[in-house]
Structure 1
């Protein structure tokens, strides 16, 4: 395939991808892979994960995860319906599970499939901390960050293909391109893209936890504990998929009043710590 044709296809794709809208920011987002493909795959992977891990049932911690998850999902439904996105969650199948694992981790798959690891509970230290983590993870799903990462990955591959075709008759420059493109597209594009998603999920998550009746400033305290738990082993922010703990703490403090103001629009006037 000639370079001109490859670049033409690449350009058409770039103009076509911005076809979804983030319901929280109103911004156009990458959506090369439709949710009709993503959700069934996510549901299948979730079931497989549960079958291969020890799910904690009928304990106070497990019940707390479910109760807070339900509050967050109700808050999301209320927000989306009030802002013109009624039915946005029609294909969601919410599920909240606690899994026996020492890892300090939690996640939410597209479609509302949530897992908390027992290893994160000593750091969340109660309901407000769990709500902070839950709001953040659910926000990733609501904002279709998984879809965007998959789409960005496809564009990254297309860019590599176009470059290799351009230098196909010049192996030396082709290698130089591949080295530069690999580093440049990762550090200059993909990592900042991921960090922006994390910050966006933090901000959306604060609104969800506030609407669920929890003090959003508790999310800053959570990240203080996360930082202490990491013990200075975190990579430099520019080389990380996540903002630094200090950046997150600062952002959360500056966004908390906004989250509480939004929650008050829905009649929430007290916020549990």
Structure 2
């Protein structure tokens, strides 16, 4: 699979678990015709060549400077000092032009009140999304469940419920949501920018009820409605452009190639951990907030959203899996997501009530979960032990991820519909 395809997938998908194991290497085959490549794809294809060009230019400048006699170097430094004001003025003008271009491509999002950067036209990005869809379809075609499968029917009902209940949300009715359920153990789901919904059966096994599934699908639909894939691709393109300038300077100023390689590595890591990953976590938190609102209007028990991430955190602890610090991840930690959702749930419940949804029934699932966890942790050591050779405690049946035998269908959306 080409580098461009991998980068495209990274920019346009959102993963519940933070990643999908990709299949084997395959050649990228365009769909024929002589049309020009879409702008985003062309940028991704040219990106490695641009990086190499920046390195060669920077290294060439360094060699040229070293080859100059000492007298010529002193003369060049004097000229630079004399032209310093002109250089600063030129840099200011260039910066102003770039700022004007940046501002001209900002759009106000009515759902969040935030201004987002969109460099690509919707038509070009839709064409790119369709190409990505064909790649996913080719990769998972043999694993897709038929539409008659009960799991596909369940996901289709939830997505339809979310779409109908949120028809007044700006931009949501522009999508034709198409559901694909993939037989794959990964706890994952994502929605492409063209409305293609992919849900892995591992996620269906991980949710405790249909309300958790409703929130998670609302989260994924929110990514598409908010244009997160297009925004991320636009910002990555802008940052990559600035990084090329910095990369050229690194190779021009570092006295040795080894130091330049080190500087290049540090620059890439700083870009990743100080911008790309924090920015990705911000988008995930925003999709959680908007997705919770979409779920509330669909009469989902929004309290289940927090419980899902608490279940994921508990499973990680009991199974003894390594947990990376949040700053190393592209997604917020399970515990932080649960805490942030807890703060948003009262507002979501008020929104749910304003949509004439049936009253929430039964005890608060968050309280039930906390009591169950306390009982689990207070149980004797041997009561929940795993078989020899396996790590951590075994989750008791009440806490094991899995779909209920009789799913709690969303109100007004029974299987008979």
**Same fold by TM (over 0.5)?**
yes
> Hey, what's the Cα distance between the residues in 1 that align with 2:338 and 2:151?
26
Aligned pair 1:24/2:114, yes or no? no
Distance in 1 between the 2:324 and 2:91 partners? Answer: 37
Which residue pairs with 2:334 in the alignment?
Answer: 245
Question: What are the within-5 Å matches in structure 2 for residues 1-273 of structure 1?
Answer: 12-18=97-103, 19-53=106-140, 54-57=143-146, 58-78=148-168, 80=169, 85=170, 88-89=171-172, 91-167=174-250, 169-172=252-255, 175=261, 177-230=263-316, 231=319, 232-271=321-360
Matched residue of 2:107: which SS?
strand
> Quick check: which has more Rg, 1 or 2?
2
Q: Give the Cα–Cα distance (whole angstroms) in 1 for the partners of residues 119 and 109 of structure 2.
A: 14
| Distance in 2 between residues matched to 1:73 and 1:66, nearest whole Å | 10
* Contact 1:224/1:249 (8 A) holds in 2: yes
Conserved 8 A contact 1:23-1:143: no
Deviation for aligned residue 1:176: 5.8
SS at match of 1:152: helix
Distance 1:247 1:207 in 2: 19
SS in 1 for 2:234: helix
For residue 140 of structure 1, report the CA deviation from its aligned partner: 0.9
**3-state SS of 1:150 partner:** helix
Superposition deviation, residue 168 in structure 1: 5.2
Q: Is this contact kept in 1: 2:163–2:172, CA < 8 A?
A: no
Partner of 2:31: none
RMSD of aligned alpha carbons = 2.6
Q: TM-score, normalised by structure 1?
A: 0.87
The 1:166–1:25 alpha-carbon spacing in structure 2 relative to 1, beyond 3 Å, is same
Q: Which residues of structure 2 form unaligned runs of 5+?
A: 1-56, 58-86, 362-407, 409-417
**1:66-124 deviations in Å (ceiling 9; x for gaps):** 0000111223322x2xxxx3xx2464221112111111100011122111101111211
Q: 1:45 to 1:6 in 2, by over 3 A?
A: farther
Give the direction of change, closer, same or farther, for the CA distance of 1:270–1:7 in structure 2 (3 Å limit): farther
Cα distance change of structure 1 residues 33 and 71 upon mapping to structure 2, 3 Å threshold: same
Give the whole-Å Cα distance in 2 for the aligned partners of 1:7 and 1:120: 51
Distance 1:50 1:32 in 2: 27
Give deviations 1:150-189, integer Å, cap 9, x for gaps. 1121122111112134455323475565333212221111
CA distance in structure 1 between the partners assigned to 2:223 and 2:174 by the alignment: 16
Aligned partners of 1:7, 1:99: CA distance in 2, in Å? 52
Distance (Å, rounded) in 2 between the aligned partners of 1:67 and 1:207: 18
Scaled by the length of structure 2, the TM-score of the pair is 0.58
